[in-house]
């Protein structure tokens, strides 16, 4: 399986994502600059954290106009797995690939520490190797992670089981309904504020994030066998 790690000006978690895929997952991965106009060579797309374009205007507001976003939109329509972490999640929201918006943390402070999450839906291409309701430890590092949407959208997210992760022991940023990660209706685009790529080895304090990437590979292999 071949992964693309999209690099925007100001990305700073791209190396962590690359390491998680190459060294921990053992799959093929390449950096792809934001000027790229095709992602046809890749099986999954990863949008890493950071401060794309310095977070000017709003986090992700400028990156959503990058040339590569057209290719990401096409990949989403084709059903390829797309994961946006932290700033990557913010970009997916700004691009309309996921519903809702991101606000400043209710503390108005940048927060960087491990948090516990509850797996709300393990019947997805991103979470099939977790147990339903499993509590995992994943670090966060953000100043604008306070997810918000209107009541109608929230109800739709709940009805369709699109809320994939919720904060468990505490809500660190004021996010609506303790939401830490959501996916699109089609089930192939996941955005989450916590960083699974920083939790892929016990030496980092947790390896709980590795199963997310392993779930993607499992999905791809099963699909590849079925279609070949």
- Indicate which residues carry an active-site annotation: 86, 195, 197
- How far apart (Å, rounded) are the C-alpha atoms in residues 26 and 132? 26
Distances (CA, A) of 53 to 9, 104, 146, 204: 6, 17, 20, 28
Backbone angles phi, psi at 49, to 5 degrees: -80, 175
- How far apart (Å, rounded) are the C-alpha atoms in residues 89 and 171? 18
Q: Are 83 and 126 in contact (CB under 8 A)?
A: yes
Residue listed under structure tokens 């053992």: 26
DSSP string, 68-87: HHHHHHHHHHTT--EEEETH
- How far apart (Å, rounded) are the C-alpha atoms in residues 43 and 99? 24
The single-letter DSSP state of residue 41 is T
């Amino acid at each position: 399986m071949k992964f693309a790690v999209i690099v925007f000006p100001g990305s700073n978690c791209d190396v962590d994502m690359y390491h998680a895929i190459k060294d921990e997952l053992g799959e093929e991965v390449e950096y792809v600059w934001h000027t790229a106009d095709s992602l046809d060579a890749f099986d999954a797309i990863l949008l890493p954290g950071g401060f794309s374009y310095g977070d000017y205007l709003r986090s992700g507001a400028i990156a959503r106009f990058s040339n590569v976003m057209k290719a990401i939109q096409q990949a989403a329509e084709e059903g390829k797995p797309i994961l946006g972490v932290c700033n990557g999640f913010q970009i997916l929201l700004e691009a309309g690939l996921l519903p809702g918006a991101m606000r400043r943390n209710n503390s108005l402070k940048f927060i960087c520490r491990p948090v516990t999450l509850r797996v709300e839906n393990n019947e997805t291409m991103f979470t099939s190797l977790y147990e339903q309701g499993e509590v995992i430890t994943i670090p966060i590092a953000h100043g604008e992670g306070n997810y918000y949407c209107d009541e109608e959208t929230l109800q739709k997210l709940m009805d369709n089981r699109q809320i994939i992760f919720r904060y468990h022991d505490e809500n660190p940023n004021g996010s609506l309904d303790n939401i830490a990660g959501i996916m699109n209706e089609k089930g192939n685009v996941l955005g989450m504020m916590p960083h699974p790529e920083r939790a892929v080895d016990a030496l980092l304090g947790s390896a709980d994030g590795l199963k997310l990437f392993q779930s993607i590979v499992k999905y791809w292999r099963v699909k590849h066998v079925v279609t070949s």
